[in-house]
Amino acid sequence: MFYRESGQFKTSYRADQAIFTIPQDRIFFALFMLMAYVGVPLIASDYLYTALIIPFLCLSLAALGLNILTGYCGQLSLGTGAFMGVGAVSAWNLAYRIPDLNILVVFILAGLITAAVGMFFGLPSMRIKGFYLAVATLAAQFFLPWLFVKWGWLTNHNSSGVITAPQLELFGWVINTPMEKYLFALSIVALLALAAKNLVRSNPGRQWMAIRDMDIAAEIIGIRPMVAKLSAFAVSSFYVGVAGALYLFVYLGSTEPDGFNINLSFQTLFMIIIGGLGSILGSFLGAFFILLLPIFLTRVPPMLGFEFSTALVSHLEFMVFGALIVFFLIVEPHGLARLWQIAKEKLRIWPFPY
């Protein structure tokens, strides 16, 4: 009823290949973006920006990057945290050593450096797959943070190894307030998400999915596994690298290399598992679930008027959060994105299901 498609004919290839094929989706998405660009800045507080939305944007970009690799190409990776670190450290070095470099160029170059590093650590994927590959990428997770600590030049020989992001400036626009930072991060994430959406719908994406579904069959029909796998590693690492640069420059401001530890890798992996493997929307939903839901949970008992101790609230949060993960994985193993899709399908035939 709400989502009725009858009468909407696609009369050209263009219409058939659009990202949003029906007007309802287009309207919803347009409203959503309008909300993100206009609505949020009108009503959001600093708390909302700096504590919730900006980290959400950074981590959903990282999850998106990992989703390209794991969800679309089927290559399990546990090195996301380290690759974010590569992005952050290289962006910092570029900005520090070439002060006049445009910040967008810094981000792109940082992404490219991370892509190169990611490809290098993706080489074992030629020979091994599945859990074995996960362990091989774990090597990146241990090696890279170690390198940031040992190679003093990377942190300009700072005694404690902490790097501090410079002032953000884009064509004379000084990005200072939380709202400006939010808009900056939102634009980058929106652009990259659009690029990812198109990428996975075109030739490279189809190659990745073929490799994911059955690599031998893919090879037989003429897909070169090396090109497909390494391009997935490169694109994925590019996204993760930019996410790392955003994480340092826009969100934290300064951090130590140890901040890009294995917990971050696990966190992003859980995001895409909960959100939905092989789904752009899933990366965002997963980031919301893993990052923001626990914070909301800590607020529930006080909101209901319970005066629990901080420790109890925190333990409750762990319990409820754990239970929710189990619940969602049982109800829909394909993630929140799939739930969203099912909801849309149900709305299509509501109120007369057949």
Residues that bind other proteins (CB under 8 A): 32, 35, 39-40, 43-48, 50-52, 55, 96, 146, 149, 159-162, 164-167, 176-177, 251-256, 258-259, 261, 285, 288, 291, 295-296, 298-299, 309-311, 313-315, 318, 340, 343
Nearer to other proteins, 238 or 251 (CB): 251
Nearer to other proteins, 44 or 112 (CB): 44
DSSP track, 21-34? -SHHHHHHHHHHHH
Check if the beta carbon of residue 95 is closer than 8 Å to that of residue 103.
yes
Shortest Cβ distance from residue 66 to other proteins (Å)?
Answer: 17
- Closest CA relative to residue 143, chosen from 270, 232, 260: 260
Shortest Cβ distance from residue 318 to other proteins (Å)?
Answer: 7
Shortest Cβ distance from residue 57 to other proteins (Å)?
Answer: 13
Nearer to other proteins, 132 or 306 (CB): 306
Angstrom distances, CA of residue 230 to CA of 15, 125, 325: 32, 8, 32
**Alpha-carbon gap, residue 142 to 303, rounded angstroms:** 41
The letter for the amino acid at 329 is L
Check if the beta carbon of residue 241 is closer than 8 Å to that of residue 87.
yes
- Closest CA relative to residue 61, chosen from 210, 198, 185: 185
If residue 136 lies in a helix (H) or strand (E), which one and from where to where? helix 131-150
Nearer to other proteins, 172 or 222 (CB): 172
Shortest Cβ distance from residue 80 to other proteins (Å)?
Answer: 15
Nearer to other proteins, 138 or 149 (CB): 149
Shortest Cβ distance from residue 127 to other proteins (Å)?
Answer: 28
Nearer to other proteins, 69 or 285 (CB): 285
Shortest Cβ distance from residue 216 to other proteins (Å)?
Answer: 39
Nearer to other proteins, 96 or 206 (CB): 96
Shortest Cβ distance from residue 13 to other proteins (Å)?
Answer: 30
Cis before 351? omega within 30: yes
Region of residue 161 (left: phi > 0; alpha: psi -120 to 50; beta: else): left
321: buried, middle or exposed (CB in 10 Å: 19+, 13-18, 0-12)? middle
